[in-house]
């Protein structure tokens, strides 16, 4: 009789309800939506460094930014487009002729044309009717296609817009030969089951050949919703390294990729062992520290302190790890602290071929626990104060703003 498996895997029980596209084209938004994280700015050299790492990792499509935003942004996009990277470079534009001209001038081969779709956006932000939005969208897609660009058409707040309007709008741009259709959960309100229904209805009504999703993380569901979309057959997920992005961020590149590879057995074409290095680079250049408990790339994601856990890991890594840390370019850590047990301590001694009796181990263990419990938190308090000062009020301070305002010629406003 064959040995029973060490762990049961139930994912194959639902395989019949999943329909993954092949290939899945990862569309990275780190340099556009990721840079829209409050307080984040990537200079031209930094954008190039991140784009190079993304391309080397196997990411096929990188959004370099919105050229019309500034002269620096336009120069950055142009530089990435001409850098000979092993990926396609995309730039974004509103349904405005000047925006699209700026993308054409940048040399990017792909364009994402975006416009809002929900009534709250149309009425209070754009101040446009549905017909005006439809006309501007058709005109913009036609302009971009005539320039030879690969065109993705994006609606902001797709999933809160009237479905009849969504259908009319996407059918209209499809008739103008838009290459890829993007559904956006702009404020992250979808749940996996509802999103599955929505995307299946979208496919029934619009019949997209190449489609994409852009999921925000306001309720912590961006990765789950993105995986749901991929199960339905969506071809191109939007992702950001470290889950950066507006407000609570976007679907995390590393989480979506490794979930597909490990949980579903789907080959993504991404070099997973390069993900931690990529994550660290983006952490450094964005100035946004990784949460220690961030999945896969957080500093604690392969660290073990509790005695029960370390004992299990030393016996077999599957006890408390779902994958080997080397899969994402990591290494396992055994942490010595309040919850440490004898097994971890003995393993630590083995690093230098040291030995100790049970009595010595017990004494040393007690010293470690006592030292950990009595450790001062003053340094942590100072660190947290600096961290909060940086992220609770990102961007220009009031003092800096008013200095610039007065230098620009603004008068009044008190002192």
pLDDT at 168 over 90: yes
Assess if residue 5 is contained within a domain.
Answer: no
Average pLDDT value for residue range 239-251: 98
pLDDT digits (tens, 9 = 90+) for 141-154: 999 999 999 999 99
Return the percentage of the chain with pLDDT > 70, whole number.
99
Return the percentage of the chain with pLDDT > 90, whole number.
82
Assess if residue 7 is contained within a domain.
Answer: no
Assess if residue 86 is contained within a domain.
Answer: yes
Which of 55-69, 166-180, 231-245, 352-366 is least confident?
352-366
Number of domains in the chain: 3
Assess if residue 28 is contained within a domain.
Answer: yes
Which of 97-111, 225-239, 393-407 is least confident?
393-407
Range of the domain at 364: 303-373
Please state the length of the chain.
415
Average pLDDT value for residue range 166-188: 98
pLDDT band at 342 (very low <50, low <70, confident <90, very high): confident
Q: What distance in Å separates the CA atoms of residue 197 and residue 203, rounded to the nearest whole number?
A: 10
Assess if residue 295 is contained within a domain.
Answer: no
> DSSP label at 260?
I
Report the pLDDT value the prediction gives residue 214, as an integer from 0 to 100: 98
Assess if residue 202 is contained within a domain.
Answer: yes
Alpha helices in 58-129 (DSSP H): 71-81, 97-106, 119-121
pLDDT at 1 over 90: no
Q: What distance in Å separates the CA atoms of residue 334 and residue 216, rounded to the nearest whole number?
A: 34
213 and 353 co-located in one domain:
no
pTM reported for the whole predicted model = 0.94
190 and 263 co-located in one domain:
yes
CATH number of residue 249's parent domain: 3.20.20.70
Average pLDDT value for residue range 94-123: 98
pLDDT band at 122 (very low <50, low <70, confident <90, very high): very high
Assess if residue 259 is contained within a domain.
Answer: yes
pLDDT digits (tens, 9 = 90+) for 280-317: 999 999 999 999 999 999 999 999 988 888 889 989 99
Report the pLDDT value the prediction gives residue 248, as an integer from 0 to 100: 97
Please state, in angstroms and as integers, the Cα–Cα distance from residue 410 to each residue in 367, 395, 397, 398, 400, following that order: 63, 20, 17, 14, 14
Assess if residue 131 is contained within a domain.
Answer: yes
Q: What distance in Å separates the CA atoms of residue 277 and residue 195, rounded to the nearest whole number?
A: 32
pLDDT digits (tens, 9 = 90+) for 50-63: 999 999 999 999 99
């Amino acid at each position: 009789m064959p040995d029973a498996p060490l762990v049961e895997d139930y994912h194959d029980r639902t395989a019949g309800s999943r329909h993954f596209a092949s290939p899945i084209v990862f569309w990275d938004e780190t340099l556009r939506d990721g840079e829209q994280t409050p307080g984040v700015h990537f200079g031209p050299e930094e954008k190039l460094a991140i784009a190079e790492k993304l391309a080397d990792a196997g990411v096929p499509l990188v959004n370099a930014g919105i050229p019309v935003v500034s002269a620096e942004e336009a120069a950055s996009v142009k530089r990435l487009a001409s850098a000979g990277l092993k990926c396609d470079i995309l730039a974004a534009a509103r349904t405005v002729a000047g925006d699209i001209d700026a993308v054409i001038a940048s040399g990017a081969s792909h364009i994402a044309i975006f416009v809002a779709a929900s009534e709250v956006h149309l009425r209070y932000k754009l101040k446009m009717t549905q017909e005006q939005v439809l006309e501007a969208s058709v005109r913009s897609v036609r302009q971009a296609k005539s320039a030879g660009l690969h065109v993705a058409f994006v609606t902001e707040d797709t999933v809160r817009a009237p479905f009849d309007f969504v259908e009319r709008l996407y059918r209209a741009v499809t008739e103008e030969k838009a290459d890829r259709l993007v559904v956006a959960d702009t404020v992250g309100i979808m749940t996996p089951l509802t999103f599955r229904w929505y995307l299946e209805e979208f496919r029934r009504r619009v019949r997209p050949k190449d489609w994409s999703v852009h999921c925000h993380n306001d309720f912590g569901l961006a990765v789950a919703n993105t995986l749901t979309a991929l199960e339905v057959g969506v071809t191109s997920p939007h992702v950001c390294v470290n889950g950066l992005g507006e407000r609570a961020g976007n679907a995390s590149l590393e989480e979506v990729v490794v979930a597909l590879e490990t949980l579903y057995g789907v080959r993504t074409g991404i070099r997973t062992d390069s993900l931690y290095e990529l994550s660290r680079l983006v952490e450094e250049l964005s100035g946004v520290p990784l949460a220690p408990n961030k999945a896969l790339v957080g500093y604690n994601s392969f660290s073990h302190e509790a005695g029960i856990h370390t004992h299990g890991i030393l016996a077999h890594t599957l006890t408390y790890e779902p994958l080997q840390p080397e899969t994402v370019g990591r290494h396992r850590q055994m942490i010595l602290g309040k919850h440490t047990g004898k097994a971890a301590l003995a393993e630590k001694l083995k690093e230098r071929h040291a030995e100790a009796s049970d009595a010595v181990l017990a004494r040393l263990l007690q010293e470690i626990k006592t030292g950990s419990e009595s450790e001062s938190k003053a340094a942590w308090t100072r660190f947290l104060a600096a961290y909060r000062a940086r992220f609770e009020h990102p961007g220009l301070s009031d003092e800096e703003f008013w200095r610039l305002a007065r230098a620009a010629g603004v008068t009044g406003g008190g002192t």
